[in-house]
Amino acid sequence: MSATPSPRALRTRRALAALRRAAASAGKDGGGKVYAYAGAPVHAMGLAFPGPLGLAAGFDRFGLLARTAPRLGLGAVEAGTFFGGSAGELAVLGSGTARHGSNAAIRGVSIGKRPATPWSRAEDDFLDALFAFHRGADYLTLNPGRDHPRPERFAIVLREVVRARDALGGRRDRRIPLVAKLPFAWTAGPEGVAIATAFVAAGADGLLLSAEGAACPRHAREILRRIATALGREACIVSVGGIDGAREARARMDAGAHLIQVHRGAAAGGARFTRALALELSLRRFGERP
């Protein structure tokens, strides 16, 4: 018998249903095109994101919003986290490339290890997920989870996945980008920049910098700025966590993020929240003020 969903999970389900209704309504009333304020595409990791705002993993687990997300101001939807690939999960995500037309959002898939798997054997789970989901995603995010190991151990996992991805790329017509999620505990200390740089050296095309656990938004922005300055154009930087409004979203971009992701704000504010952030980020990119 399946476990009863937590109150947070139920709230997220209701919020996702509301966003799907809002996106469908936009299509019916003539707003089905990509929102004008999504601005010019953001080119990162070899992909063209319709806009810089994305939905974080854990909100839309199966990427159901991917085709209509731009109606909400969203340029990307990250599905998951998945730990291998059941038949049901693969059926929902589909067996082909995630992108369906130029107006669809980019679809990422977050992958991780199974809870019962020790980190000493984590490579197997990540490789299973790579092989299961690389056809149904535009990019993959390696997620260390809440029981994350030391960064050196996770970097070893990343290298193994990079090698397997490169071997797959040799047999296919595209090389799927890999993003490494870095917990705030890894980047907040004096070695934060060195850790971020090491993951890029290990083969990450992008870094998802989590601000969960930051004492205040300013602290998260300072760390983001240091890492962005050190990396320059070497990797795409995605910021997630604690983005509760348009001002903070704009500040993260000004600190050096190429893309941002939201979760709790979207759950609480719905389509009005995501569209307001998309507008703010578009105005920021074109040097305007609302």
pLDDT digits (tens, 9 = 90+) for 58-80: 999 998 888 889 899 999 999 99
Within a domain: residue 39?
A: yes
* Span between the terminal Cα atoms of the chain, in Å: 51
CATH classification at residue 53: 3.20.20.70
- At residue 200, does pLDDT exceed 60? yes
Within a domain: residue 2?
A: no
Average pLDDT over residues 16-22: 92
Q: Phi and psi of 266, rounded to 5°?
A: -70, -35
Within a domain: residue 240?
A: yes
Domain count across the chain: 1
Q: What is the mean pLDDT of the chain?
A: 86
- At residue 154, does pLDDT exceed 80? yes
Residue 33 DSSP label: S
**What Å distances lie between residue 26 and 4, 81, 172, 224, 279, CA to CA?**
33, 28, 36, 35, 16
Domain holding 269, by residue range, is 7-285
Within a domain: residue 290?
A: no
Digit-coded pLDDT (tens) for 225-237 = 999 999 988 899 9
Within a domain: residue 227?
A: yes
Q: What pLDDT does 234 receive? A: 87
Within a domain: residue 1?
A: no
Non-local CB neighbours of 275 within 8 Å, separated by 6+ positions: 35, 37, 72, 73
Return the closest-CA partner of residue 103 out of 133, 136, 66: 66
Q: Per-residue confidence at 39, pLDDT binned at 50, 70, 90?
A: low
Within a domain: residue 182?
A: yes
Within a domain: residue 106?
A: yes
Asked if 199 and 158 count as a contact pair (C-beta separation under 8 A), the reply is yes
- At residue 215, does pLDDT exceed 60? yes
Give the count of beta carbons closer than 10 Å to the beta carbon of residue 31. 13
